[in-house]
Amino acid sequence: MAIRMKQFTIHFDPETGGVRTGQTTVNFNENIKEANAVLKGFEARFTSPGSDRDIRQIHIDLDVTSVTQHAVNVKADFGLRDASGNFDDAYAGFVQGVVIAEH
């Protein structure tokens, strides 16, 4: 059993609304048997002018959605809302992760 690791970043452009989903594919040189994704870092920010707000919730979740030969597909859920409890302010950022794969 050998383990390989690769980093990835999923970017989220400014938008309003609830939790958003982004996806990426992480490719390896070997056939992958099993994989998991772990959070490495993130940036979440309100993008509207005068957007100095108290944060109520930051939501980040990573999931491996499929493993096909050399490719690992990763889904990231990303959400930011202020103290009002609504997703009514534009927000943006990125999620960085690492795929840990067994080949």
Model confidence over 33-90: pLDDT tens digits?
Answer: 999 999 999 999 999 877 677 889 999 999 999 999 999 999 999 999 999 888 889 9
Tens digits of residue pLDDT in 65-81: 999 999 999 999 999 99
What count of other Cβ atoms lies within 10 Å of the Cβ of residue 56? 12
Half-sphere exposure of 87 (CA within 13 A, CB side): 15
| Assigned token pair, 17 | 């609304």
DSSP, residue by residue, 73-93: EEEEEEEEEETTSS--S-EEE
pLDDT tops 80 at residue 1: no
The whole-number pLDDT of residue 48 equals: 81
> What is the 8-class DSSP label of residue 18?
S
The whole-number pLDDT of residue 71 equals: 98
How far apart CA 25 and CA 67 sit, in angstroms, is 10
The whole-angstrom distance between residue 82's C-alpha and the CA centroid of its chain comes to 19
